[in-house]
Amino acid sequence: MDNYRFILSGGGTGGHIYPAIAIANELKQRYPNAEFLFVGARDKMEMEKVPQAGYKIEGLWISGLQRKLTLKNLMFPIKVISSLLRARNIVKQFRPDIAIGTGGFASGPLLRMAAASKVPCVLQEQNSYAGITNKLLAGKAKTICVAYDGMERFFPKEKIVKTGNPVRQDLVDIKVSKKEALESYDLNPAKKTVLIIGGSLGARRINQLIEKELDFFDGLDIQVLWQCGKLYFEEYKQHESPSVKVMAFIDKMERAYTAADMIISRAGAGSVSELCLMGKPVLFIPSPNVAEDHQTKNAQALVSKNAAVLLKESELDEVFEGTFKNLIDSKEKQERLGQNIRGLALPKATQHIVDEIEKLLK
């Protein structure tokens, strides 16, 4: 039988959506006649990204709790009840064989109702510090796929399988050479290249830092490939020059990674998994504004294995130049970081997650 029915939920950010889409793609490859339905939060980016990937999606009226007392928080219980009822109807009508949650608010009501209908549930946790939705759902799940060691702090040990995070297939088998990658950005092969990535929307604090340090990079004879994010492109495009390439968004990440000698990045779970595959020296500047400060914890998990360097936003002005120069001057340090981070890569994560789903189907 291969006409299974899979229901998936994950959203709010790309970090939850892209893993869910990657899992669906792998399932579709193995079961071409299967049916798929995604469930997301009504006004979040999954409502656009999932249909673009070719899947149907239903929206729930759900959002997270705000940190301070607001009118939105007073609506929260009503949204939860409304979402649970809607999720129950969706499960009843779709009759899934398996429910898969990758985190984010919408996966809470959906997986709770799937479990109540005796549908086996699989969770995928991307971060080293588990998200609140997955922690609440852990008791209902049959299997919990994780990307870091030590996750029994959050989940029942017997349910945990370390698979890694799904990464895009084009990053697993890169076909482009360094020479081609540099040419595609019109960069000089004689100079070292630093790639700056602050997430798809950009990161204000990283952009401010890079703008301030352009002369410093120039003094070191380093060229910069800078994804500043679409929110900030108008503000920073004036810095474009032969040795500074400013882009709103890099759509061929495999080229950018190949061109880079060193990378400065946020520490979202998806970025960390991609950077492990690349095996390049990385300087992480985690966002302090995310739930449970999970980016700092993701970066610390690598730093503890001597596989990356971590700088806090609050100390950038004091320590950035010294830290960067230490790293760029030491070939040995770059090689050690590159080898250690590559040692943490789990390139077959998506296949392993789907292997776990298959065990439950059988």
pLDDT at 131: 87
* Predicted confidence (pLDDT) per residue in 211-220, tens digit: 999 999 999 9
pLDDT at 281: 97
Query: C-alpha angle with apex 84: 79 to 88, nearest 5 degrees?
Result: 150
Can you give the residue range of the structural domain that contains 192? Answer: 170-342
The annotated binding site for UDP-N-acetyl-alpha-D-glucosamine is made up of 13-15, 127, 168, 200, 250, 295
Q: Do 203 and 233 lie in a common domain?
A: yes
pLDDT at 202: 75
- We report the CATH number of the domain holding residue 66 as 3.40.50.2000
- Decide which of 172 and 187 is more confident: 187
pLDDT at 77: 80
Rounded Cα gap, residues 32 and 157, in angstroms: 33
Neighbours of 204 (CB within 10 A): 16
- Decide which of 290 and 134 is more confident: 134
Claim: this prediction has a pTM higher than 0.75: yes
Q: Do 153 and 229 lie in a common domain?
A: no
Q: Do 306 and 175 lie in a common domain?
A: yes
Q: Do 83 and 20 lie in a common domain?
A: yes
Average pLDDT over residues 335-350: 95
Q: 3-state class of 244 per DSSP?
A: strand
Q: Domain total for the chain?
A: 2
Strand 309-310 relative to strand 222-227: parallel, antiparallel, unpaired?
A: unpaired
Q: Do 263 and 353 lie in a common domain?
A: no
**Do 111 and 141 touch, CB atoms closer than 8 A?**
yes
pLDDT at 69: 63
pLDDT at 261: 97
Q: Do 123 and 242 lie in a common domain?
A: no
Residue 355 sits at φ, ψ, to 5 deg, of: -60, -40
Query: C-alpha angle with apex 300: 315 to 281, nearest 5 degrees?
Result: 80
Rounded Cα gap, residues 174 and 172, in angstroms: 6
The annotated binding site is made up of 13-15, 127, 168, 200, 250, 295
Q: Do 33 and 75 lie in a common domain?
A: yes
